[in-house]
Amino acid sequence: MKQILILTCIVISSLVNSPLLAQQNAFIEDYLERLENSRKYLILVAETMPEDKYNFKATPDSKSFAENLMHIGYALDWHSQSLLGERESRNWKTDTTFAPLNKSKKEMIATIEKAFDETISLIEQFDTSKLDDELDYFGLNRSKRQIFLLLSDHVTHHRGQILVYLRLNGVVPPRYVLFQ
């Protein structure tokens, strides 16, 4: 009986310390570091734009600076809470959490900070055994690992747009920080 118990402990220990699990945990650790750096830079960009320029649009059909900023928050929420965390999605057209209307610059930045906090909290607790689980992403099968990467790409895409908005308004963007 004692030998079976020892053997069971060895097998369980080897599974817990497997290279695959270590790689998955390293992915989460690396991702969290990158996401935190992305947050710092985005908040710096948002703080740099004067509040009276938050409604600026590069073209009439474009999102405004504020709309892009709030869209980043919505995407953080949707990718993390709904796709990775399996919570029902907010309705972009009717939910007011990420609507810029009647929000001050300070309120929008606080909304973005909260979205990052909630995203980071979910990712810190994410079950790495689910990284390869697949789900429908606009008609394509994507793993949850790919959802992590799509989330980062989306933040970068819209942050790039609002960096251009700074320049178009004669505002020098904050210096780019590597590894985000």
In total, the chain counts a number of residues equal to 180
Binding residues: 71, 154, 158
Distance in angstroms (rounded) separating the CA atoms of residues 122 and 28: 11
From 26, 80, 72, select the one nearest 45 (Cα to Cα). 72
End-to-end CA distance of the chain: 52
From 92, 87, 67, 76, select the one nearest 39 (Cα to Cα). 76
Binding residues for a divalent metal cation: 71, 154, 158
From 31, 47, 43, 140, select the one nearest 80 (Cα to Cα). 31
